[in-house]
């Protein structure tokens, strides 16, 4: 091949490439824009689904907390000593964990503190 033919083929190839770029460039931009829109829509749908599932979990947790409170209330009504036992257990845990540094005993009569101890 002669060098002139190689240059001619290169020029024709460049021209064909530029024409193809001019023709397919706008088509590609439209296609890419559509794909970007689809990706954005899928992302929004996914975020929406996450929010819905989070809200459902919060509702379920609130219902379970309400049921637990109801059960504790029923237990406290049926068994008056329940609260006292609960207090003693919590107090024991606090002493074991070291969060209680000092214990002060208050004299009581019928679970009512005696204000003037020894005043009589």
- Per-residue model confidence (pLDDT) at position 66: 96
DSSP character for 115?
S
Tokens coding 90:
């919590």
Question: Among the listed ranges 66-70, 72-76, 79-83, 109-113, which one has the minimum average pLDDT value?
Answer: 109-113
What span, in angstroms and rounded, lies between the C-alpha atoms of 9 and 15?
10
What span, in angstroms and rounded, lies between the C-alpha atoms of 66 and 82?
19
SS3 state of residue 109: strand
Instruction: For tokens 């068994």, name the residue.
Output: 79
H-helix or E-strand spanning residue 112: strand 112-113
Threshold 0.75, pTM exceeds:
no
H-assigned helices in the chain: 3-78, 81-97
With 60 as the cut, is the pLDDT of residue 43 above it? yes
| pLDDT tens, residue by residue, 22-32 | 888 888 888 89
With 80 as the cut, is the pLDDT of residue 81 above it? yes
Length of the chain: 120
- Per-residue model confidence (pLDDT) at position 54: 97
- Per-residue model confidence (pLDDT) at position 119: 53
């Amino acid at each position: 091949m002669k060098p002139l033919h190689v240059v001619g083929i290169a020029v024709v190839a460049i021209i064909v490439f530029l024409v193809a770029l001019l023709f397919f460039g706008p088509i590609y931009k439209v296609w890419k824009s559509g794909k970007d829109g689809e990706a954005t829509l899928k992302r929004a749908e996914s975020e929406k689904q996450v929010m819905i599932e989070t809200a459902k979990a919060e509702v379920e947790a609130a219902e379970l907390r309400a049921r637990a409170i109801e059960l504790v209330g029923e237990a406290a009504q049926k068994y008056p000593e329940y609260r006292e036992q609960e207090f003693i257990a919590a107090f024991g845990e606090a002493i074991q964990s070291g969060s209680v540094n000092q214990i002060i005993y208050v004299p009581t009569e019928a679970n009512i503190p005696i204000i003037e101890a020894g005043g009589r």
